Chains A and B, each alone.
Chain A
Amino acid sequence: MSGTLDPDLERRWFPVCSRDDLQAQHIFETELLGRELAVWRGGGGVVNVWANRCPHRGMRLSAGAILGGELRCAYHGYRYAEGSGLCTSIPAQPGRAAPRSLCAATYPVFEAGNLIWSRLKDDEPAGAPPPSIAQHCESLYGLAVKSRAIDVAEVLTRYRFRPTAALAEPETEDELCTTTQIDAYSFRAAARKGSMTSEVRLFLQPVDARCTVVHGILCGEVAAELKIAALRHHAERLGRLRDACERLFPARDEP
C-alpha cells in the first residue's frame, strides 16, 4: 500500500482513532493505507491529523512534545502550530521568522461518534462525509487484526453479541442479533432480548496491507454500572472474531 493508492480510497473518510486515545500530552500514532500519521489534540482543543514526519529532517513527530497549541519536534525543536501545521519557530534561528513554506503535512479532521476521522486526499470537498452517529455513545476496545480489510469485513458479518441490559442474566434462546454490512468498511449491528436492545456500529481502518483496526461504537447512553461489563463483553466477542479472522486469513507479504 506504500505505492500508488486508489484515489477513491484516498478520498474516503476513515476513523484513525477514538477520542479517548487522545490523552493530554500524548501524541497518538497510527497508519492509514500505509501512511504514517501523528494525531494529537493541542491546548486549544484542536484535533490534528498530520503526516508523522517533521518536514525538516523527517523525524517522527510522535516522538515530540505538545506545548500548548504547538507540537515541538524531538530532533531540532522546530515547532508547528495546531490547525495549520505552519512552522512557528526554529531554535537555531532565533529572532527570524520561519519560512512560510515550512509546514507539517496536514490531513482533514472530522469528529463523529467518539471517533476521529480523516482522509488522505482532500481535493473533492463534496466527498461523502463520515456517517452520522448518535451523540451519546461509547468507544469499544479497538482491535488491530493482522488481516486485510476485505477479509476482516467477511468475518465481521458474523458478529453476535448481547444487549447490555441483559448481560447480568444467562444467555437464552430467544435473544436475537444481526450484523449488516453497510459498505466495504462499515457495519450496523443490533441485539435484542424482549424489550432490551443494543446497537453497535463497526468501522474498519485499513492500516496497511497486513493490518486492519476495527473501531466499534456502542450507541446510546450506557448506565455507568453496566459500562465496563458491556465493554468487556464486546472486547471478548470481537477478540474471538479477530482470532478466527487471523486463522482464516493470515496477513501475507505482498509481492
Chain B
Amino acid sequence: MILYDYELSGNCYKVRLLLALLAIPHSLHPMDFYPGREHKSDWFLALNPLGQLPVLVEDGYVLRDAQAILVYLASRYDGSGLWYPTADPNLLGSINSWLMFADAITNTASAARLHDGFFYDFDIARCRDGAHRLFRILDEHLWFSERGASGWICTGAHPTIADIALFPYVQLSEEGGIARRDYPAIRRWLDRVRMLAGFVTMPGIFALPARA
C-alpha cells in the first residue's frame, strides 16, 4: 500500500493518522507539493486527474480523496467495525454528513492556511468567515455531544472517521489566522482526539504533554 503524501497537508495527515491508529503497514511516496507542484505533473495527473493529494494505491486499486480513503481503510482494516460502523443507517448517514462537513472545512480553514503559509491567491476574508461559520456549528454540535454521550462527532462511545476527517484542519486553523478562542467545545474535542491511543503528529500539530 502506497500513500502519495505531502507532509504539511492536513488531508494527507488524516490518512496517516488513521493508518497509525489502525496500525496498517504502508509506505509513503513524498510529493513536492510546494513549491514543486508535483501534484500537477503529468505523471501524477494520470493517477488523479483532479491533481489533488492524497492518493492511495493498493494492489492496483487507485483511490483519491482523503475522506474516501478513510472510508476504504476503516471498512477494510478495522476489525472492530467501530471507526466506520455500516450496520446502523442513521449513524452511517451522520458520519457521511460530517465527512462532507470536513470537505467544507478544507474549502475554508485549509484554504486560509494555504493563503497565509503557501501564498495561494484566495479571498482570505471569505475563507476565514466561512471557517468561523462552520466552527460555530461544530462547537454547538460538540457541546451537545458532551451532554448526550461521549463528546465525539457522532453518537456512540467510540470515535469514528468523522472525528479523524475533521480534526487536522480544525487543529491547524490558527495557521490560517482562525483563532479558536470562541469555541470551547471544539478545544475540548481536539484534546480528546490528541489523547487517542496511537495518536501521531504532523508539523504544527503537537501531542498533548505527557502526564505525570
> Which residues of A are at the interface with B, using a C-beta cutoff of 8 A?
17, 20-21, 23, 25-26, 28-31, 64-65, 67-68, 72, 74, 141-142, 144, 207, 211, 213, 227-228, 231-232, 235, 239
CB-CB < 8 A to B209: which residues of A?
64-65, 72, 74
Best-buried of B187, B208, B209 by chain A (most CB within 10 Å): B209
Whether B212 contacts A67 by the Cβ 8 Å rule is yes
Whether B204 is near chain A, meaning CB under 8 Å from some CB there, is no
- Mark the stretch among B19-27, B96-104, B141-149 that contacts chain A: B141-149
Distance of A68 Cα from B212 Cα, bound (Å): 8
Distance of A207 Cα from B184 Cα, bound (Å): 14
Number of A-B contacts (CB under 8 A): 50
Whether B181 contacts A30 by the Cβ 8 Å rule is yes
Best-buried of B140, B146, B195, B210 by chain A (most CB within 10 Å): B140
B190: min CB distance to chain A, Å: 10
Whether B188 contacts A23 by the Cβ 8 Å rule is yes
Given contacts A65-B208, A65-B209, contact A232 B184 (CB under 8 A): no
Whether B211 is near chain A, meaning CB under 8 Å from some CB there, is yes
Given contacts A30-B181, A144-B182, contact A25 B144 (CB under 8 A): no
Whether A26 contacts B188 by the Cβ 8 Å rule is yes
CB-CB < 8 A to B191: which residues of A?
25-26
Chain A proximity mask over B104-115: 1 for CB below 8 Å, otherwise 0: 000000000000
Whether B140 contacts A25 by the Cβ 8 Å rule is no
Distance of A142 Cα from B191 Cα, bound (Å): 20
Distance of A231 Cα from B146 Cα, bound (Å): 12
Q: Sorted from nearest, which 7 A-B pairs have the closest CB atoms?
A: A144-B182, A65-B209, A67-B212, A141-B143, A21-B184, A26-B188, A26-B191
B162-212: which have CB < 8 Å to A? 181-184, 187-188, 191, 195, 208-212
Give the nearest-CB partner of A211 in chain B.
Answer: B182
Distance of A67 Cα from B187 Cα, bound (Å): 19
CB-CB < 8 A to B148: which residues of A?
228
Distance of A57 Cα from B148 Cα, bound (Å): 40
CB-CB < 8 A to B146: which residues of A?
20
Whether A67 contacts B211 by the Cβ 8 Å rule is yes
Given contacts A65-B210, A231-B147, contact A141 B188 (CB under 8 A): no
Give the nearest-CB partner of B136 in chain A.
Answer: A144
Given contacts A65-B211, A141-B144, 18 further A-B contacts (CB under 8 A): A17-B184, A25-B195, A25-B208, A26-B191, A28-B184, A30-B181, A31-B181, A65-B208, A67-B212, A72-B212, A74-B209, A141-B143, A211-B182, A228-B147, A231-B147, A232-B144, A235-B140, A235-B144
* Partner among A26, A31, A228 whose Cβ is within 8 Å of the Cβ of B144: A228
CB-CB < 8 A to A23: which residues of B?
188
CB-CB < 8 A to B147: which residues of A?
227-228, 231
Distance of A89 Cα from B212 Cα, bound (Å): 14
Whether B140 contacts A141 by the Cβ 8 Å rule is yes
B188: min CB distance to chain A, Å: 6
Distance of A142 Cα from B139 Cα, bound (Å): 10
Query: Can you list 18 A-B pairs with a CB-CB distance of less than 8 A?
Result: A21-B184, A21-B188, A23-B188, A25-B191, A25-B208, A28-B184, A29-B181, A64-B209, A65-B209, A68-B212, A141-B140, A144-B183, A207-B182, A213-B182, A227-B147, A232-B144, A235-B140, A235-B144
CB-CB < 8 A to B188: which residues of A?
21, 23, 26
B208: min CB distance to chain A, Å: 7
B100: min CB distance to chain A, Å: 22
Distance of A142 Cα from B209 Cα, bound (Å): 28
B89-143: which have CB < 8 Å to A? 140, 143
CB-CB < 8 A to A64: which residues of B?
209
Distance of A65 Cα from B194 Cα, bound (Å): 13
